[in-house]
Structure 1
Amino acid sequence: MLVGYMRVSKADGSQSLDLQRDALLAAGVGADAIYEDQASGKLADRPGLAACLKACRKGDVLVTWKLDRLGRSLAHLVETVTVLNDRGIGLKVLTGQGAEIDTTTASGRLVFGIFASLAEFERELIRERTMAGLSAARARGRKGGRKFALTKAQVRLAQAAMANRDTSVSDLARELGIKPTTLYRYVGPTGELRENGQRVLNARAKRSSAPNRP
């Protein structure tokens, strides 16, 4: 199934989605499978994109007019492409500099692999900088580490809620007191655990199983 996503930066009516909609329809995307946002690409909270990613299932292909309609930054774009790849969802870009990306073809999968490599490279750089920062902090007598934004119960709640296709990501994040981008660090679009969510559950499990000391 083809699922389309389109976006314009302004919601005041000065920009039209017609060009993108026509291109998606011409590419074979059904009118009822097109999601949209009228907001700056720099905003983290884009309900249309969240709903689009949530609706995609394994074997689907996400179609967008240009690559910059999808990602608000290189880091966000790499993260999104990697998540799609992990879920078995294809990506097809119709025009612009990313028009060579079509993961339903061999050459497109090669480009997709480059994105995955970039994501891995970026994560490794972040890890190295974090470890260096923690080492420097310990050398000065300080303990590093950031508190988790969600508790174990909240992670379980988020899992159950995200597994329901009717759940609004924005409403769920608001109920939990966090941003949608933070929520996605703990739980994926279909309720699967992400790294932070797994760490919360593991950390609390270790505490509960530790022997009591007098």
Structure 2
Amino acid sequence: MNGVALAMLAEPLTEIYDPTGTGRVLFAFFVAIAETERENIRETTLEGLNADARKGNHSGRLPIITDNMLYTLLRRRANGESREDIRLDPIIPHW
């Protein structure tokens, strides 16, 4: 890790730590804490999404292409229309 250093501004650890030198253990500790926090956030988010799904609420973006749009698109392709002609239809998004 060239050029990376950790500057602790508060007591009792006031110093600049190099990840390849004496600060190696300190860097490893902070990495472990960050990974643990990231996993906690992920688990909490998934629990919330699952709870919403059990209530019938589904989070996230709405589908860009609805089932009706897909049916129309596939029917038009089966009837020989080109992708370009279908793409120019304002109801069908770019694909």
**Given the two structures, how large is their TM-score scaled by the length of structure 1?**
0.26
How far the C-alpha of 1:127 sits from its partner, in A, is: 0.3
Alpha-carbon RMSD across the aligned residues, in angstroms, is 2.7
Tell me the percent identity.
Answer: 35
1:92 aligned counterpart, secondary structure: strand
Alignment of 1:134-153 (within 5 A): 134-145=49-60
1:97 aligned counterpart, secondary structure: coil
CA contact (8 A) 1:93 1:99 kept: yes
Q: Which aligned segments of 4 or more residues in structure 1 are displaced greater than 6 angstroms? A: none
Alignment of 1:1-214 (within 5 A): 59-60=2-3, 89-93=4-8, 96-99=11-14, 102-145=17-60, 213=70, 214=72
The 3 A distance-change label for structure 1 pair 141 and 106 is same
The 3 A distance-change label for structure 1 pair 136 and 90 is same
How far the C-alpha of 1:100 sits from its partner, in A, is: 5.9
Partners of 2:16 and 2:32 lie apart in 1 by 15
Partners of 1:95 and 1:114 lie apart in 2 by 17
How far the C-alpha of 1:102 sits from its partner, in A, is: 0.7
Q: Which has the higher contact order (CA 8 A, sep 6+)?
A: 1
1:96 aligned counterpart, secondary structure: coil
Greater gyration radius: 2
Gaps of 5+ in 2: 73-95
How far the C-alpha of 1:129 sits from its partner, in A, is: 0.4
CA contact (8 A) 2:52 2:59 kept: yes
Corresponding residue for residue 155 of structure 1: none
What is the total number of aligned residue pairs between the two structures?
65
Gaps of 5+ in 1: 1-57, 61-88, 148-206
1:106 aligned counterpart, secondary structure: coil
